[in-house]
Structure 1
Amino acid sequence: MTFGEQPAYLRVASDLRQKITDGSLPPHTRLPSQARIREEYGVSDTVALEARKVLMAEGLVEGRSGSGTYVRERLVPRRIARSGYRLAEGATPFRQEQADESVRGTWESSSEQDAADTDVALRLSVPQGARVMRTRYIYRDAGEAMMLSTSWEPLEITGRTPVMLPEEGPVGGCGVVERMAAIDIVVDNVVEEVGARPGLAEELLALGGVPGHVVVVISRTYYASGRAVETADIVVPADRYRIAYHLPVR
């Protein structure tokens, strides 16, 4: 499709996007009103509204209740490392990254027993309703929420062992590989599937996003001799962070 064949609302959105990109409409500037867009571009109210919706869905502008629509601050995405190399003893990828003195990362967690739903049961290869330990995490950078994670571990593996609670006990907080090794289970493989979707309302509330913002979701599962020992969903705001993979060449 050539530019001339684009629907009117996309042409308007493209022009406004260019003005945002080149600085003609700098951050915190109010976007032209619907009436002004209609007059300036010679389009209908419907076209003007749809163009604004496109820019909002792209995360370039945000609505402020009772005030209008404004250009958002253009953030420089920070990298979140996912490494295929062996980390320092007892370090998860997030904890390893926080060792840098320039980084001010913190995290909170809470664990509770739960019944595996259909998706979790499939990922862990356990019966639906099987008991699992669910742990929710929120990771912060200089106080700002940057990442959410929910993990599930089968209690038929970890129940009544010193590693039943991921963040407590003699190896609490040391990561799945070292914790499982403490109960003589050797983790030898990890699978990560990366996707994107609109954030759920509760996720965006926790991460400081607005409805419609996209999140990157990493679905991770650790295996020991083909048996799943932990699975997790990691949720990251797509407009603020990039996932960087460092993988060894064999």
Structure 2
Amino acid sequence: MNVPTAEAERDDSRPLHERIAADLRDEIMSGDLAPSARVPSTARLKERFRASSATVQKALQLLKAEGLVVGRAGAAVTVREHRQRTMRPAAYMAPAGAGEAFRWLTEAAKTGGSAHSALLEVSEAVPPADVRGLLGMAAGDTAVLRRQLLSIGDEPAELVSSYYPLELAGGTAISVRRKIRGGTPALLAERGFPPVRSVDRVSARMPTQEQAAVLRLPGHLPVLRTLRVVYSHGDRPVEATVMIKAGHLYELEYEFAAEE
């Protein structure tokens, strides 16, 4: 349990209710407050944080808006079940097998609930500068953009924007607005450009207006932004994808083996 010190309170300029919510959020995400566990009572939180009842309630309202806890005035507040999900990017980089669904869907479904995707856009677009640089594109160059929303159950999970060089994707099924069985990795593999290596850059930032709206996010928390570049043979970049997910609901797990 985090106990705020006088020094920490001096250095943290956030309003007290936001600091209380941050400490409780950390305990929920780390598992110290497990799913279905009761959040400490208002009286205990008042004593712990040297706060008024109104301030504690404001903190709990933030956590309710984030979907981390549930409860109503006068009743116990509990941690919601199955809110934090661990995603393992390495599990869905490889192309899906013949007749199989996109690997993200099958992997996400393992964390509970049915997973599905909605194709939002397919067009030619100028990628963000960091994407252009990784794909070796000049300013103003366009790529094939495929944007989709991945959901688990009825909750949006991830906003995905994938960019493909025109010389690889133009005139193929990648540039057509319809789903591709097994996802684009399977199609690229069929065309002789299988993914052999990928590099992720993960950062945290505040969501854009569109991201907050599409993912139904509270406006005061950051998102996780993963920029993934997929390389085929000869270290040729064949795809760059920007993946946005709620920072307070998801974590990424990477596994590394020690070199022998």
| TM-score (ref. length: structure 1) | 0.69
CA offset at residue 165 of structure 1? 3.6
What are structure 1's unaligned runs of at least 5 residues? 42-47, 64-69
Equivalent position amino acid for 2:170 in 1: G
**Deviations 1:147-183 (Å, cap 9, x if unpaired)?**
1111111112221234434845xxx242343211222
Measure, in 1, the Cα distance between the counterparts of 2:88 and 2:142: 31
In structure 1, the partner of 2:70 is none
**Deviations 1:86-113 (Å, cap 9, x if unpaired)?**
5651554312225659531111012111
In structure 2, the partner of 1:208 is 216
In structure 2, the partner of 1:233 is 242
User: Relative to structure 1, is the Cα distance of residues 19 and 106 closer, same or farther in structure 2, using a 3 angstrom cutoff?
Assistant: closer
User: Relative to structure 1, is the Cα distance of residues 183 and 78 closer, same or farther in structure 2, using a 3 angstrom cutoff?
Assistant: same
CA offset at residue 214 of structure 1? 1.3
Measure, in 2, the Cα distance between the counterparts of 1:98 and 1:61: 24
CA offset at residue 12 of structure 1? 4.9
Equivalences for residues 55-94 of structure 1 within 5 A:
60=63, 74-75=79-80, 76-83=83-90, 88-89=96-97, 90-94=100-104
Measure, in 1, the Cα distance between the counterparts of 2:20 and 2:111: 40
1:96 to 99, 103, 106: 106
Equivalent position amino acid for 1:207 in 2: L
CA contact (8 A) 1:83 1:93 kept: no
Which structure: larger Rg?
A: 1
1:150 to 161, 182, 199: 161
Measure, in 1, the Cα distance between the counterparts of 2:135 and 2:223: 24
Equivalences for residues 131-210 of structure 1 within 5 A:
131-165=142-176, 167-168=178-179, 172-210=180-218
Measure, in 1, the Cα distance between the counterparts of 2:106 and 2:172: 26
Equivalent position amino acid for 1:5 in 2: E
1:220 maps to 2:228: yes
| TM-score (ref. length: structure 2) | 0.67
Equivalent position amino acid for 2:247 in 1: A
CA contact (8 A) 1:79 1:243 kept: yes
Equivalent position amino acid for 1:80 in 2: M
In structure 2, the partner of 1:24 is 41
Measure, in 1, the Cα distance between the counterparts of 2:19 and 2:200: 38
Equivalent position amino acid for 2:116 in 1: T
SS in 1 for 2:116: strand
In structure 2, the partner of 1:105 is 115
Measure, in 1, the Cα distance between the counterparts of 2:227 and 2:132: 14
SS in 1 for 2:88: strand
1:114 to 85, 109, 125: 125
Compute the RMSD of aligned alpha carbons.
4.1
SS in 1 for 2:42: coil
Measure, in 2, the Cα distance between the counterparts of 1:77 and 1:115: 34
CA offset at residue 227 of structure 1? 1.8
Measure, in 2, the Cα distance between the counterparts of 1:123 and 1:213: 28
Structure number with higher helix proportion: 2
- Structure 1 stretch 16-25 or stretch 231-240: which is displaced more? 16-25
CA contact (8 A) 2:223 2:247 kept: yes
User: Relative to structure 1, is the Cα distance of residues 148 and 9 closer, same or farther in structure 2, using a 3 angstrom cutoff?
Assistant: same
CA offset at residue 5 of structure 1? 2.7
CA offset at residue 123 of structure 1? 2.0
**Deviations 1:131-154 (Å, cap 9, x if unpaired)?**
211111111111111111111111
Measure, in 1, the Cα distance between the counterparts of 2:9 and 2:214: 36
